[in-house]
Amino acid sequence: MPKLSGVLETALYVDDLDRARAFYEKVLGLVPLTADSRFLAYDVGGRSVLLLFLRGSTPETIQLPGGTIPPHDGSGPIHMAFAIAATELPVWEKSLGEHQVAIEGRTDWPRGGKSIYFRDPDDHLLELATPGIWRIY
């Protein structure tokens, strides 16, 4: 069987792109790769891309010069985790507090990793996770 080499893109669906842009750029420090009226794409650590789609903006096939992208959408709060260095956890906790972002949960994992959980403006549950969460991380 052929092998997968990683998760390249993760998509979240938001109700307001400007509000999402402010949160992801100001609070999380992400830098946009590209954007249009229906989505934003962010570089995450030089290894993956976070896509933020305006909810309901992709109900039909998108025609591009090189091909097509089938319709997609999502609803409800989604969970995703960002990888961080263990030494950065206190810095992130302080930064989230300075942006009035409440930390909803904390977990100390059996392998030694730590996670903190908080929400974006669209109620998605975001996690910052240090190494030691999974056998592979």
Looking at residue 4, its pLDDT comes to 87
Q: For the chain, what is the mean pLDDT? A: 97
For the segment 53-110, what is each residue's pLDDT rounded down to a tens digit?
Answer: 999 999 999 999 999 999 999 999 999 999 999 999 999 999 999 999 999 999 999 9
Structure token digits, residue 76: 């409800």
Q: What's the CA dihedral at 124, 84, 96, 126 to 10 degrees?
A: 10
What's the topology of domain 9-56+75-129?
2,3-Dihydroxybiphenyl 1,2-Dioxygenase; domain 1 (3.10.180)
- In this structure, are residues 104 and 56 in contact, taking their beta carbons and an 8 Å threshold? no
